Amino acid sequence: MLSPESIGAAIHARRVRLPETHATPAGKRLAHRAPHAPMIFADTADYDDIKSLYEAGIITGVTTNPTLLKKAGARSWDQAKEMLTAILKLMHPMPVSLELTMLNREEMVRQAEELAALGENSVIKVPIGGYRAIDPAADPYTGLRVIHDLWERDIRVNCTLIFNSTQAFWAAMVGATYVSPFLGRLADYEYKHDHPERPAGNALYWIEDHRNAQGDQHVSNSEYVASAGARKDTGVRLIHEICAIFSNYDIQSLVLASSLRNPVQLTECLLAGADILTVPAEVLKTVPDHPLTDAGMISFNDDAQAFIK
Ligand code: E4P
């Protein structure tokens, strides 16, 4: 078993045993310097956003869900499938997660086969549970049974709507290729219930005793550094737990950190050892910028004018 001080080393050992995520293509002299770095997926169904992130070399996969499809303009299941087919084609051979909408085992397996046939890079998203929240008479193990059925059919599964490490563990046990803990929703929930008196947002942005002269929570470095590594975000803590459990038993299912809200959570997931981060396009767009990068660019650009005739 892992002791707290060996967790980081164990997570690293598991990562480097997994297949390279950024392999250097044959014949290339300059090797990729981050062969075991996590993959970054786009959490969106918007084709144009996906295309520009893909063409910029920023993403190596996509995750969608019914809400994202609706937001991207799908008004019927046929339209949703058309949009998914286009995304699968654009991203091929990189993985694209498509979520089931059916709720009983036989129909879910049938729908999974239908979605898997849309493209060989499809990954089927199966909710871990919640079936009784929709129909109290439903089998609570519906999701786990379907994941196992799909594993038997060699169909890759992304087990979704995970909010604790036990759910992640069982999803891996029945054959999920990916497990998706929703860290942002968990942080939002905890924050709302633990601190109803505070402004909306997740706990990560409320660092005690780190207020600036204006009395707000801005810090020049990440909140993680500002709080001396104190974990304020329950969502990120979940990623730590799952990575530690998977390392304990050398579980090969990939930890797909989901429901990210901001670039700080992105950093924290990297510190926690997530295998993949799926990030909304709006958050990915903020990644290259920082107020000091802007200031530096402006001054370099001003000085460069001296060289421009
Ligand atoms: C994961 O794959 C989901 O699509 C997603 O991350 C949900 O995030 P949300 O909480 O922003 O809806």
Q: Is the CB of 158 under 6 A from ligand 1?
A: no
Ligand 1 mean position to 258 CA, how many Å?
Answer: 6
The helix/strand/coil state of 202 is coil
**Bridge partner list, 160:** 127
Q: Is the CB of 63 under 6 A from ligand 1?
A: yes
Please confirm whether the linkage preceding 35 is cis (ω < 30° from 0).
no
Q: How many Cα neighbours within 13 Å face the side chain of 307? A: 5
Closest by CA position to 68, among listed 299, 279, 219, 220: 279
Nearest CA owner, ligand 1 atom 9: 259
pLDDT of residue 209: 53
pLDDT of residue 191: 73
| Ligand 1 atom with minimal separation from the 158 CA | 2
d(CA 162, CA 127): 8
CA 109 centroid distance within chain: 24
For the domain 4-17+36-183+242-286, what is the CATH code?
Answer: 3.20.20.70
Nearest CA owner, ligand 1 atom 1: 258
Q: Is the CB of 259 under 6 A from ligand 1?
A: yes
| Ligand 1 atom with minimal separation from the 125 CA | 2
Q: Is the CB of 180 under 6 A from ligand 1?
A: yes
Catalytic residue, from 51, 70, 89, 125: name it. 125
pLDDT of residue 219: 44
| Ligand 1 atom with minimal separation from the 188 CA | 10
What are the tokens at 49? 């956003």
Nearest CA owner, ligand 1 atom 10: 259
| Ligand 1 atom with minimal separation from the 65 CA | 4
The alpha carbon torsion through 173, 105, 75, 184 (nearest 10 deg) reads -30
What are the tokens at 275? 């295998």
pLDDT of residue 299: 98
Helix axes 234-248, 165-173, angle to 10 degrees: 40
pLDDT one-digit tens code per residue, 76-133: 999 999 999 999 999 999 999 999 999 999 999 999 999 999 999 999 999 999 999 9
CA-angle at 252, arms to 31 and 116, nearest 5° = 90
pLDDT of residue 204: 47
Ligand 1 mean position to 139 CA, how many Å?
Answer: 24
Nearest CA owner, ligand 1 atom 11: 259
pLDDT in tens, the chain (309 residues): 556 667 889 899 999 999 999 999 999 999 999 999 999 999 999 999 999 999 999 999 999 999 999 999 999 999 999 999 999 999 999 999 999 999 999 999 999 999 999 999 999 999 999 999 999 999 999 999 999 999 999 999 999 999 999 999 999 999 999 999 999 998 888 777 776 766 655 544 455 555 556 665 544 455 555 565 555 567 888 999 999 999 999 999 999 999 998 888 888 899 899 999 999 999 998 888 888 899 999 999 999 999 987
b/e burial code for range 89-100 (CB count within 10 A of at least 16 → b): ebbeeebbbbbb
pLDDT of residue 36: 95
Residue 273 CB contacts under 8 Å (≥ 6 apart), including other chains? 8, 11, 12, 15, 239, 240, 243, 247, 255
125 tagged catalytic:
yes
The alpha carbon torsion through 230, 232, 236, 239 (nearest 10 deg) reads 60
Q: Is the CB of 258 under 6 A from ligand 1?
A: yes
